[in-house]
């Protein structure tokens, strides 16, 4: 092993990591303390972070995380693989300084400075907190060996400048490997024959099931393949990319170009509220058990969520249409009896199917096998599903099988297990969980249709909104083959289930389910996060693969309240826009008539709004500094005849 020379060392550095499956926000691994060193040997200069207790654990340069275990591989001996059950191993980091793309240093006058490192492949390391100082010294040390340049857009961001050109064509193919839509711990050790990157990308992509393939290809489209004498397949990935990209077309006005002059005014203070309490909930009913003010109640939930899982057990039944909002206490008692009977009737139907009948029904048999496979690995680190022969895993299976009978045309599609899991945790009752899941699927069923028209449309809507809000970033994504927005695919498919902690997911879902301020609020959450990372993405010169990896690494490293605040500010910017295009208004459910007025939340002001039938070329440019401001755009359209239109008129 090469002899290491220590160039920099600082101990008592901590990582604050939030587990996606933890039921509570404070877990034993929330803070990991260790030592940062910068070392040099004959292979180069390297950054290392070693948690306390792992100083004597011998590993080489990298580790693959497989479920709850760490598979540590020695690069000098590809066949040498050791397995350790230490959960701290995944917090041991080691990278070559030449792989660093950017570093962000947050320094407060009264507070603990922290640094975030982003690698050239888009990998984002967790924030390192320097409890006893040293972040400035580390930055100075890095500047001795790397061409660091401070960002002009964000003074906390330092970019490593280099002249390497990205290969966008290869990135668009290898990006499929980064989707990680559904976990399969066995796949990580699989070997693939052949070196063709296109074939490998498609094969790995197809492991997510035919459902995901149809997302990008369409149900009746095929990827042509040829087979050579070595029985290695060469797949035409171009068809895959063209099929998906073909659904994203930009619309422009013919003859006139709309230019906006942005005039920022004072925005109202947008703040999150306290969670709805049990007492408030109890006082929301009249003497017959009917909710008095549904709109006010939804607004309270939107602002602060619900105070406890016990309260969620009651409120979610309304949010998910188990109970109508207008129902009385007696109505709900009768409805619960009726739905319990209906559920058990459907459950008996599939339970009574014998093995001989299963063999004659391939679709039913295959769905049952897929459900059984998926539930055994659904949130198994959550205490509700932990342990061998867990009864709740069996209930999860029974509910999904019953839903397969209830909605046999749709059946079961991978990802539904992720949506059901939090509902079962809250309800802790098989019948109630089933009917709440039915309510959720009534909102999200289109995400799982085989033609995938809805989810394609939602990703297209994301890009349409981005074109209007931030044309510069939208153009950058186009230039880097990322305008299909499929780095948000998992977020949209299972509604951020993998992006936040278990508690935060439940809070986020109940906020979205209120449908309080607009339609498709989840799109604005995606855009708020995307725009907040604009400087890092563009100045780091991320391509398609790096962007996808970068957003995957944001999982469980996002502050939910900040995301919700930023999304609401985006909505206010759009809703108070005087000249909003029809396409934007329809996405958010805003008035689309030419003489409609929108009642703004800003001092009850009303704005006459011109509605364009085509997407204007002018945009609102909101960089990440926007989210630190309190300002409102008033956009005044000015029409100029384009050169092409003027020339056509002249020639006629």
pLDDT digit string, tens, across residues 546-570: 998 899 888 888 899 999 999 999 9
29-38 exposure pattern, b = at least 16 Cβ within 10 A, e = fewer: beebebbbbb
- Rounded to 5°, the CA angle 428-430-435 comes to 105
- If one counts every other C-beta atom within 10 angstroms of the C-beta of residue 424, the result is 24
- Rounded to 5°, the CA angle 258-264-267 comes to 125
Q: Which residues pair with 233 in a beta bridge?
A: 227
**pLDDT value of position 638:** 35
User: For residues 551 and 178, is the Cβ–Cβ distance under 8 A?
Assistant: no
Q: Identify the residue whose tokens are 């993998």.
A: 498
Q: Where does residue 362 rank: exposed (0-12), middle (13-18), buried (19+ CB within 10 A)? A: exposed
pLDDT band at residue 413 using 50, 70 and 90 as cut-offs = very high
Domain ranges for the chain, please list them. 5-160, 168-245, 256-267+486-500+514-643, 278-448
**pLDDT value of position 36:** 92
CA 609 – CA 585 distance, rounded (Å): 11
- pLDDT reading at 16 higher than 90: no
Sequence-ordered list of residues with C-beta below 8 angstroms from that of 352, at least 6 positions apart, any chain: none
User: For residues 435 and 339, is the Cβ–Cβ distance under 8 A?
Assistant: yes
CA 423 – CA 117 distance, rounded (Å): 36
User: For residues 560 and 179, is the Cβ–Cβ distance under 8 A?
Assistant: no
Fold classified for 5-160? PH-domain like (2.30.29)
- Locate 460 and state its tokens: 């297209």
**5-160 and 278-448 in the same fold:** no
Question: Picking from 220-224, 376-380, 445-449, 538-542, which range would have the lowest pLDDT averaged per residue?
Answer: 220-224
**Higher-pLDDT residue of 593, 25:** 593
- pLDDT reading at 73 higher than 70: no
285 alpha carbon, distance to own chain's centre: 36
- Locate 289 and state its tokens: 């058990």
CA 4 – CA 18 distance, rounded (Å): 32
Report the Cα–Cα distance between both ends of the chain, in Å, rounded. Answer: 79
3 state DSSP class of 612? strand
User: For residues 525 and 568, is the Cβ–Cβ distance under 8 A?
Assistant: no
CA 365 – CA 377 distance, rounded (Å): 19
CA 455 – CA 218 distance, rounded (Å): 12
Residue 603 phi, psi dihedral angles, 5° rounding: 55, 35
- Locate 194 and state its tokens: 């052949």
Using a pLDDT cut of 90, give the percent of the chain over it. 44
Q: What is the DSSP string of 177-230?
A: GG---S--GGGGG---SS--HHHHHHHHHHTT-HHHHHHHH-TT----EEE-TT
Pairing between strand 31-41 and 5-16? antiparallel
Q: Which residues pair with 96 in a beta bridge?
A: 46
pLDDT digit string, tens, across residues 306-357: 999 999 999 999 999 999 999 999 999 999 999 999 999 999 999 999 888 8
**pLDDT value of position 283:** 96
What CATH architecture is 278-448?
Orthogonal Bundle (1.10)
Mean pLDDT of 468-487: 91
Q: Identify the residue whose tokens are 């320094």.
A: 107
Total length of the chain: 652
Radius of gyration of the chain (CA): 27
pLDDT band at residue 289 using 50, 70 and 90 as cut-offs = very high
Q: Identify the residue whose tokens are 């769905």.
A: 367
SS (H, E, C) 16-27: ECCCCCCCCCCC
Pairing between strand 157-160 and 100-106? antiparallel
CA 465 – CA 459 distance, rounded (Å): 10
Q: Identify the residue whose tokens are 């990991």.
A: 32
Sequence-ordered list of residues with C-beta below 8 angstroms from that of 604, at least 6 positions apart, any chain: none
**pLDDT value of position 593:** 58
Q: Identify the residue whose tokens are 């079961």.
A: 412
Residue 2 is classified by DSSP as P
- Locate 206 and state its tokens: 């197809």
pLDDT band at residue 580 using 50, 70 and 90 as cut-offs = confident
**pLDDT value of position 31:** 84
User: For residues 92 and 79, is the Cβ–Cβ distance under 8 A?
Assistant: no
User: For residues 491 and 499, is the Cβ–Cβ distance under 8 A?
Assistant: yes
Closest CA to 578 of 565, 591, 568, 566: 591
> CA of 291: how far to CAs of 275, 284, 421, in Å?
18, 6, 28
pLDDT band at residue 106 using 50, 70 and 90 as cut-offs = confident
- If one counts every other C-beta atom within 10 angstroms of the C-beta of residue 423, the result is 23
Closest CA to 103 of 640, 539, 587: 539
CA 175 – CA 86 distance, rounded (Å): 30
3 state DSSP class of 442? helix
387-391, 427-431, 602-606: range with highest mean pLDDT: 427-431
- If one counts every other C-beta atom within 10 angstroms of the C-beta of residue 549, the result is 22
- Locate 452 and state its tokens: 């995938």
- For the chain, give the mean pLDDT: 75
Mean pLDDT of 609-630: 36
CA 176 – CA 187 distance, rounded (Å): 15
pLDDT band at residue 245 using 50, 70 and 90 as cut-offs = very low
Give the strands of the sheet with 81-84, arranged side by side: 62-66, 69-73, 81-84
**pLDDT value of position 2:** 61
User: For residues 256 and 641, is the Cβ–Cβ distance under 8 A?
Assistant: yes
- pLDDT reading at 446 higher than 90: yes
- pLDDT reading at 400 higher than 70: yes
**pLDDT value of position 503:** 94
CA 502 – CA 312 distance, rounded (Å): 14
Q: Which residues pair with 45 in a beta bridge?
A: 40
**Higher-pLDDT residue of 55, 513:** 513
CA 509 – CA 521 distance, rounded (Å): 11
- If one counts every other C-beta atom within 10 angstroms of the C-beta of residue 604, the result is 7
């Amino acid at each position: 092993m090469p002899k290491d020379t220590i160039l920099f060392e600082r101990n008592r550095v901590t990582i604050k990591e939030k587990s996606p499956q933890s039921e509570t926000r404070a877990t034993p691994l929330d803070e990991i303390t260790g030592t940062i060193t910068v070392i040099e040997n004959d292979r180069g200069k390297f950054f290392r972070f070693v948690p306390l207790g792992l100083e004597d654990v011998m590993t080489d340069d990298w580790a693959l995380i497989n479920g709850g275990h760490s598979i540590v591989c020695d690069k000098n001996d590809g066949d040498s693989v050791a397995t350790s059950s230490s959960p701290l191993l995944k917090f041991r980091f080691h990278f070559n300084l030449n792989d660093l793309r950017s570093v962000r240093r947050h320094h407060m006058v009264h507070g603990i400075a922290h640094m975030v490192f982003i690698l050239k492949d888009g990998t984002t390391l967790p924030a390192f907190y320097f409890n006893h100082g040293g972040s400035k010294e580390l930055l100075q040390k890095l500047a001795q060996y790397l061409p660091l340049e401070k960002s002009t857009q964000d003074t906390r961001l330092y970019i490593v400048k280099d002249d390497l050109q990205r290969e966008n064509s290869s990135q668009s193919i290898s990006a499929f490997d980064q989707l990680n839509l559904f976990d399969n711990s066995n796949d990580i050790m699989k070997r693939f024959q052949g070196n063709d990157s296109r074939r490998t990308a498609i094969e790995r992509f197809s492991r997510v099931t035919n459902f995901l393939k149809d997302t990008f290809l369409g149900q009746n489209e095929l990827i042509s393949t040829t087979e050579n004498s070595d029985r290695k397949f060469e797949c035409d990935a171009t068809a895959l990319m063209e099929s998906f990209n073909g659904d994203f077309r930009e619309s422009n006005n013919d003859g006139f170009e709309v230019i906006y002059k942005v005039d920022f005014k004072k925005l109202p203070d947008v703040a999150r509220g306290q969670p709805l309490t049990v007492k408030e909930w109890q006082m929301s009913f009249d003497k017959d058990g009917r909710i008095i003010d549904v709109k006010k109640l939804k607004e309270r939930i939107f602002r602060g969520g619900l105070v406890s899982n016990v309260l969620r057990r009651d409120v979610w039944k309304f949010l998910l249409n188990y109970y109508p909002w207008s129902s009385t206490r007696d109505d709900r008692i009768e409805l619960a009896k009726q739905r319990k009977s209906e559920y058990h009737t459907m459950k008996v139907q599939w339970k009574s199917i014998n093995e001989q009948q299963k063999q004659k029904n391939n679709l039913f048999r295959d769905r049952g096998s897929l459900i059984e496979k998926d539930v055994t690995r659904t949130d198994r680190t959550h205490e509700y599903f932990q342990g061998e022969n867990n009864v709740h895993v069996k209930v999860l299976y029974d509910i999904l099988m019953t839903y397969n009978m209830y909605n046999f045309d749709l059946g079961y599609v991978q990802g539904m297990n992720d949506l059901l899991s939090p509902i079962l945790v809250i309800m802790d009752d098989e019948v109630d969980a089933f009917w709440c899941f039915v309510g959720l699927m009534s909102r999200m069923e289109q995400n799982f249709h085989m033609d995938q028209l809805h989810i394609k449309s939602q990703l297209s809507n994301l890009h349409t909104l981005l074109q209007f809000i931030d044309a510069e970033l939208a153009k950058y994504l186009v230039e880097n083959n990322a305008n299909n927005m499929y780095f948000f695919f998992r977020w949209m498919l299972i509604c951020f289930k993998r992006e936040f902690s278990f508690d935060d997911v439940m809070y986020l879902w109940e906020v979205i389910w209120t449908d309080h301020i607009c339609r498709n609020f989840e799109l604005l959450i995606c855009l708020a996060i995307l725009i907040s990372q604009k400087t890092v993405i563009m100045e780091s010169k991320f391509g398609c693969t790096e962007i996808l990896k970068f957003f995957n690494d944001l999982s469980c490293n996002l502050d939910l309240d900040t995301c919700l605040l930023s999304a609401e500010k985006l909505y206010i910017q759009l809703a108070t826009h005087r000249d909003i295009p029809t396409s934007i208004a329809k996405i958010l459910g805003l008035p689309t008539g030419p003489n409609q007025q929108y009642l703004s939340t800003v001092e009850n002001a009303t704005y006459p709004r011109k509605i364009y039938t085509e997407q204007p070329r002018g945009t609102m440019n909101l960089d990440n500094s926007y989210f630190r401001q309190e300002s409102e755009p008033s956009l005044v359209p000015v029409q100029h005849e384009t050169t092409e239109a003027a020339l056509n008129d002249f020639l006629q």
